[in-house]
Amino acid sequence: MSTLLDETTTHALRDGAFGNARALTCRECGHEVALGPSYACPECFGPLEVAYDFPAVTREEIAAGPRNIWRYKALLPVPSDIEQSPNTEPGFTRLLEARNLARELGLEKLWVKDDSTNPTNSFKDRVVACALSAARELDAKVFACPSTGNLANAVAAAGARAGIPTVVFIPSNLETPKKVNSAVFTEKLVAVDGNYDDVNKLASEIAGEEEGWAFVNVNVRPFYAEGSKTLGYEIAEQLGWRLPDQIVIPVASGSQLTKVDKAFQELITLGLVEDKPYKVFGAQATGCSPVSVAYKGGTDAIRPVKPDTIAKSLAIGNPADGIYVLDVCRRTGGAVEDITDDEVRDAIVLLARTEGIFTETAGGTTVGVLKKLVETGQLDTSLETVVINTGHGLKTLDSVSDRVGPAATIAPSYDAFVASGVL
């Protein structure tokens, strides 16, 4: 397939550089532009996303692929030889049936899609892998991102693996483990005094001034966002090529939620799963819940907020895809809900002590919202449900460090143990 260059691109693309992708299309007005480092519509300034001319794809062809996201390469904006390029090979993480948590919450069938086992222990490795492919094909000289932490880790690791100079920008008050997890891969970790929205604004300014920089979630965002679709593909494949009845997904920018919905719709269109109703629920922390507030207020007007929550991965006060999250949740019959930081901490411990999964604060938010949705009757307990864990709890240890610890400190003797009352 021949692809056209965006007019801002001077590098000649090789044939099939973006696989079966046809163009970038505006999510507001439908205007199409050529594939390239563009993210806003030249006609109405709406966000762009990747459009495809999909070939016939079979379940067998997918199953014959590698056990990572490249098994779905025919459905992504990547070349057919993508496996030949160094990458962190994320994806195909476990889908765990959560019987204990289901019993605790009163659900009949519950699964946890556990993305904490990706290479840098979060779902961000998926989106970065697709962004890295686009950066290569566009001959970018610098790989970069603004981040609330997990993305910084994934970009820094992927850049190191690919041998591309990498610069990552983070809020200076980020959790220490996330800073260390990025700094170990790149010496160009830049801490910015401000919140994520301030960091994102700075990144947009740099992207406009510097040539050859690929900001994964700014000027190559349409390609980056497509990586989130692989979560939806995997859930359907791991359920035996069928869609769940309900799914609960955390909301930061909102891109992940909308792309999982896009993945489900693509699988239906391609005949890979049966067309059936499913409900999508969004999860936010109360300290940064502009989408939840808009949903509960029955409006599409999302008012930006200044984040104040321990769930820093979700602390985006002006979510780019917020309005599309509202559309998906309302269209499918789902909802958007939020919980307090104390409820986030409780949910982290609940998931750990029922299923042996230690999640970060974003996952705690999602599990906590699942619990609240059940308690408020917004979620049908008789239907099969999937909840997404986006990252590992070792990255946000401080959030629960004052809640858990030794049950007792005793002398090394049996009598002391008996006297401790632990049993």
What is the residue-level pLDDT of the chain in tens, covering all 423 positions? Answer: 334 445 555 567 888 999 999 999 999 999 999 999 999 999 999 999 999 999 999 999 999 999 999 999 999 999 999 999 999 999 999 999 999 999 999 999 999 999 999 999 999 999 999 999 999 999 999 999 999 889 999 999 999 999 999 999 999 988 898 899 999 999 999 999 999 899 999 999 999 899 899 999 999 999 999 999 999 999 999 999 999 999 999 999 999 999 999 999 999 999 999 999 999 999 999 999 999 999 999 999 999 999 999 999 999 999 999 999 999 999 999 999 999 999 999 999 999 999 999 999 999 999 999 999 999 999 999 999 999 999 999 999 999 999 999 999 999 999 999 999 988
Q: Is the CB of residue 123 less than 8 Å from the CB of residue 231?
A: yes
DSSP H stretches of helix in 302-377: 322-332, 341-355, 361-375
Length of the chain: 423
CA dist., res. 54 & res. 73, Å (int): 11
Burial letters for 135-144: b for 16+ Cβ neighbours within 10 Å, e otherwise? bbbbebebbb
Closest CA to 195 of 23, 81, 15, 317: 317
- Pairing status of strand 166-171 against strand 142-146: parallel
pLDDT at 12: 77
pLDDT at 8: 54
**Dihedral over Cα of 258, 224, 110, 277: its sign:** positive
Q: Phi first, then psi: what are they for 392, rounded to 5°?
A: -90, 145
Residues in contact with 241: Cβ distance below 8 Å, sequence separation at least 6, in sequence order: 59, 272, 273
User: Residue 187 has what DSSP assignment?
Assistant: S
pLDDT at 5: 45
* Residue 171 three-state SS: strand
- Residue corresponding to tokens 């239906």: 268
- Residue corresponding to tokens 């260390």: 180
Burial (CB count within 10 angstroms: exposed 0-12, middle 13-18, buried 19+), residue 109: middle
